[in-house]
């Protein structure tokens, strides 16, 4: 009997400790709200706070009644049968009506917020972006295309890493080319779905320059875990210098396309390693086989391939990944637009890097 009493009080102590921890760590609760950097962040936090403080008394009331019922109506000894309460119609109607009232209040607050302050400012024309970036998700990476203001082309395209100015309005226009993804920057803003055939928008105005990371928040396949987002926020003057330099490079850039015949320049393995990293190739071609052959296996396969030189085999594999299906792998997972991202020098560099491993 004493053992049962001890276990009973131990259980109550654990429940009380759990409740105390939940209330003693409000920062952990607040951490789930949007952080600094996203448009309308203060409005989102206000809505979050209202709903949170509506929930707190309800949680305390429900948990308090449960604890009261456990203590007040517990069985005192083995053969005792506690009083059986059939019900209380007045109480049941009251809490049912009250629940609908609470749901109605939350619904009204959320709807009002979604229809007014949360509406993307680009849709109502109240703000002109300093920079617009087209964000395209695909298995398993992100491409970024940069435009000045609301749509002046720069010709700049990057993969995996997004570079933006701090303290300026940046509009992200987000879509997908294959399945649904979700663009999530937890330290800057909420998450926005990337939906094929549809464009969603997100605003950024990052106060502090620095490096920020995120990831795809919608399961999208084998390498979903590696579909990372890297954001670099630069001081405005530094960003302007970066932008001007990239625009100059872009003017001189001539994509290789699907050209398999024109001789390539001498490749540089060190530069190729950088290109390999910038394009996110390590996600599929790492130390161990994944969605594609391991990095160390690629050179071996190219060298032993019959009917073409190693360079020609790799060139075709990069520019036309489905020209020849590698046994055990799905060629459609590999993006088919690397010819648009690489010029002759870039292709030569990455081939040199692959053959050096």
pLDDT of residue 32: 37
pLDDT of 57 strictly over 60: yes
Tens-digit pLDDT profile for residues 196-241: 999 988 888 888 899 999 999 999 888 888 889 999 999 999 999 9
Residues 126, 131, 132, 133, CA torsion sign: negative
pLDDT of 328 strictly over 80: no
Integer angstrom CA distances of residue 15 from 1, 24, 255: 22, 14, 64
Report the alpha-carbon distance of residue 128 to residue 351 in Å, rounded.
43
Give the CA count within 13 Å in the CB-facing half-sphere of 93: 3
pLDDT of residue 31: 34
Tens-digit pLDDT profile for residues 253-294: 888 888 888 888 898 888 888 888 888 787 778 777 767 787
Give the CA count within 13 Å in the CB-facing half-sphere of 130: 14
Query: In this structure, are residues 165 and 130 in contact, taking their beta carbons and an 8 Å threshold?
Result: yes
Query: In this structure, are residues 201 and 190 in contact, taking their beta carbons and an 8 Å threshold?
Result: no
Q: At 113, list the tokens.
A: 């917020």
Q: For the chain, give me the number of helices (H) and strands (E)? A: 11, 10
The whole-number average pLDDT for the span 41-50 is: 74
Integer angstrom CA distances of residue 216 from 144, 211, 274, 290, 325: 15, 17, 23, 18, 28
The whole-number average pLDDT for the span 25-47 is: 53
Looking at residue 323, what DSSP letter applies?
Answer: S
pLDDT of 342 strictly over 50: yes
């Amino acid at each position: 009997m004493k053992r049962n009493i001890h276990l009973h009080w131990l259980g109550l102590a654990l429940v009380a400790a759990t409740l105390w921890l939940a209330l003693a760590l409000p920062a952990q609760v607040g951490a789930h709200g949007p952080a600094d950097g996203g448009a309308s962040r203060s409005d989102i936090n206000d809505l979050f706070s209202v709903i949170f403080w509506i929930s707190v008394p309800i949680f305390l009331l429900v948990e308090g009644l449960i604890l009261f019922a456990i203590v007040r109506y517990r069985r005192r000894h083995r053969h005792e049968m506690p009083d059986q309460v059939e019900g209380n119609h007045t109480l049941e109607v009251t809490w049912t009506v009250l629940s609908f009232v609470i749901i109605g209040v939350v619904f009204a607050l959320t709807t009002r917020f979604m229809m007014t302050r949360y509406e993307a400012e680009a849709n109502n024309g109240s703000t002109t972006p300093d920079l617009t970036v087209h964000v395209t998700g695909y298995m398993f990476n992100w491409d970024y295309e940069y435009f000045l203001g609301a749509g002046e082309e720069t010709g700049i395209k990057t993969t995996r890493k997004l570079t933006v100015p701090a303290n300026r309005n940046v509009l992200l226009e987000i879509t997908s080319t294959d399945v649904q993804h979700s663009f999530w920057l937890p330290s800057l803003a909420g998450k926005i779905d990337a939906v094929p055939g549809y464009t969603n928008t997100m605003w950024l105005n990052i106060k502090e320059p620095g490096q920020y990371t995120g990831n795809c928040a919608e399961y999208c396949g084998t390498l979903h875990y590696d579909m990372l987002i890297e954001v670099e926020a630069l001081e405005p003057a530094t960003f302007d210098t970066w932008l001007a330099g990239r625009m100059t490079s872009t003017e001189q850039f001539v994509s290789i396309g699907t050209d398999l015949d024109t001789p390539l320049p001498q490749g540089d393995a060190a530069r190729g390693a950088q290109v390999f990293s910038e394009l996110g190739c390590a996600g599929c071609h790492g130390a161990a086989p994944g969605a594609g052959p391991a990095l160390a296996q690629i050179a071996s396969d190219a060298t032993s391939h019959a009917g073409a030189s190693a360079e020609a085999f790799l060139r075709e594999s990069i520019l036309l990944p489905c020209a020849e299906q590698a046994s055990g792998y799905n060629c459609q997972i590999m993006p088919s637009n690397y010819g648009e991202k690489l010029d002759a020098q870039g292709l030569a560099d990455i081939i040199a890097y692959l053959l050096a491993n």
